[in-house]
Every structure is written in structure tokens, then in C-alpha cells.
Amino acid sequence: MKIAIYYGGRGVIEDTTIYVVNKIAQVFDELNVQVKRYNLYEQRNEIAVLSGTIKEVDGVVLAVPLEWYGIGGYMQQFLDSCWLYADKEKLKNMYMMPVVVATTTGERQAELALRTSWELLGGKVIEGVCTFVENQVDFETNTDLGKLIEDKAENLYRAVSRKSLQFPSSNSMIKRNLSTISIPLTPQESEDLSKYVSDDKYVKRQKEDIEELSQMFKGLLEKNSAGMDPKLEFIANLRTNYHPSEEKLNVSYALSFVDNGRTLLVEVKDGKLFCSYVEKECSADVTAKLTRAVMERIVNGRVTFQGAFMSGDITAKGDFRLLRQFDVLFRFQTLV
């Protein structure tokens, strides 16, 4: 039998969780069980790879100290990597015992988080150690508490040896609807992928490649926008969706795009629409500053002109009563 202990603390000497896991490991040694302990803080750059170690063991102990709130970042990263990369078939029959040692309030919530996470992974959970420690010395010298910890370790040994039957959990049913969207991978492929994820240089290089591709496609989209002619960008949208008012209005909007320095002048004179890009600053009833991305959302019907102004995506000066009038004159249809 093989048992793996994953310790999610910081390794400080005053952490009573270390005493508890050492006590558990001692019991397993006496039972001739192979024990492998993983200190996540020492292997924080390889946590994604550690999910592959689960397939080598028969039972798992997840141990965390509670110094403030929750199970801590290292343990959460480990559980995340198990969800993404671990062998789910192996996890189906894997027993886990939680160990939560708190020096503040919330040990029950932390234990529940470990239990729920493991059940969502498909594994089985047995009762573990969940305790509050007020005085480290008193706790570690208490023989009755030490015996209780030993009993918990023996219970894990019995559960793994006998393949103890457990009542079904609703979390195992929910898991069916929480499957990760990914390409089916063999266990070997999952292990290889987890190694890449744990390689900071590889991840950094991938991010740089994605950013380079994003910039390239952004440039192509800008080049192809509005029929390949930048002089007509957004003008066709305005003309197509223009709805003249019964009153022959005279109103003008100067739309300055801060990301390319161009200004689109939109004028309505006696009910007729005139749109053009101007080289110099011009006077208008409303002068607005926005980005091309915001204007694209407007012409695609995702947001109104006034709504963009209210959310802070547009800054404007002039006659603010005419902001609403823009949405009356131009009624853009939402693109699906």
C-alpha cells in the first residue's frame, strides 16, 4: 500500500499541522505502508506536475494549516491541477483524509472545502483531523489527542485495505455537469501537458506568441474594416441606420478616436446626413472622445451612445441634451 501526504502550509516551525502529518506518517510506517510526503511550498513551481503522482498511490492525505481564511493558495493550486490533469479513472477509487489545523476560526469550512473538492474530482473521503489549536505545546504533548490522530490514520488504512463502501454523494452527480472542456488526453499526454504548464519559461513564451498573433490579427481587422477603405470606417453603418427626425434638425457630432487620432464629423443639416473624416479639430454641438472598440460596440447595437457615455467609455463636452438625440437618429440593430 502507498499513501501520499500533500502538505499545503508554509513549513514554519510553529505549524502544528507538521506535527499531525508526522504522527500520521509514523502510524503508516508501523503498518508497513509506503509514505511519500510532498511539501507544496517547496515544489510550488511544479505543482501542476504533482497531480500525476496521485496515480502511483492508494490513498491521499491533504493537510493544510488555517492561519487566516481558507485552505491556502498552494493547496488550491494542487486541487486545480488535479481537476485539469489528474487521471480521473484513478481518482474514482481514491480515498482521501483531510487534515485541517486552525489557529483561527473556520476549520470546519476549510475541511468542507477539501471534502467537496475531492468529491467533485470523483474521489472518496473519510473522516480526518479537524481541530483548533490554541497552544501548540499543550496540543502536541497531549497523549489523548495523539492517540486520536493515530486512530484517524488507522481508519484511512482500513478504508483503503477493505475498499470501504460509502453512500453516494450529490457532488459526484454534479461532477458530470462540470466536466472541463478539453481535448480527451491519455494519462501520459496529461502528464506531459502538466509539465509544460509548470514550466514558467514555456508559459511565458506561449503568452508572447499569443500576444504577437493577437496584434497581427488586430492589424488585419483594422485594415479590412469598412470595405478595406479607412476613409469610410463607420460611415456606412451611420448612413444605413440613419432615421431622420420629422423635425428638420441641425445638429453635429465630432467623434474623436483616441487610439488612432482621427475625427469623424457627423452632421445633420435640415434632416440630411453628412459624414466625413476631418484632418483638423472642428467645432460641433457635441465633441466626444472614444476608442474604435467602443464605436464598434455602438454600431453593432451592443450599447447605446448615451449608455457608453454613462459608463465612462465616452467623454464628451457640449450640449449634453443632444447625447440622447444621437440614439434617436441612429438606431443600430444588434448583431447576433
The CATH architecture one would assign to domain 2-198 is: 3-Layer(aba) Sandwich (3.40)
Q: Is 38 exposed, middle or buried, given 0-12, 13-18 or 19+ CB atoms closer than 10 A?
A: middle
The closest of 14, 293, 33 to 161, measured between CA atoms, is: 33
Q: Which of 140-144, 181-185, 201-205, 309-313 has the lowest mean pLDDT?
A: 181-185
pLDDT greater at residue 102 or residue 332: 102
At 127-179, the pLDDT tens digits run 999 999 999 999 999 999 999 999 999 999 999 998 888 887 776 666 555 54
Per-residue model confidence (pLDDT) at position 90: 86
At 314-324, the pLDDT tens digits run 998 888 888 88
Q: Which residues of 83-109 are buried (b: 16+ CB within 10 A; e: fewer)?
A: bebbbbebbeebbbbbbbbbbeebbee
Contacts of 205 (CB under 8 A, 6+ apart): none
Percentage of residues in the chain having pLDDT higher than 70: 83
pTM for this model (two decimals)? 0.56
At 205-249, the pLDDT tens digits run 767 777 777 666 655 555 554 444 566 788 988 998 998 887 778
Domain spans of the chain, in order of start? 2-198, 200-227, 230-329
The CATH architecture one would assign to domain 230-329 is: 2-Layer Sandwich (3.30)
pLDDT at residue 45 is higher than 90? no
Per-residue model confidence (pLDDT) at position 218: 58
Give the Cα separation of 12 and 26 in Å (integer): 20
Q: Is 165 exposed, middle or buried, given 0-12, 13-18 or 19+ CB atoms closer than 10 A?
A: exposed
Give the Cα separation of 241 and 332 in Å (integer): 6
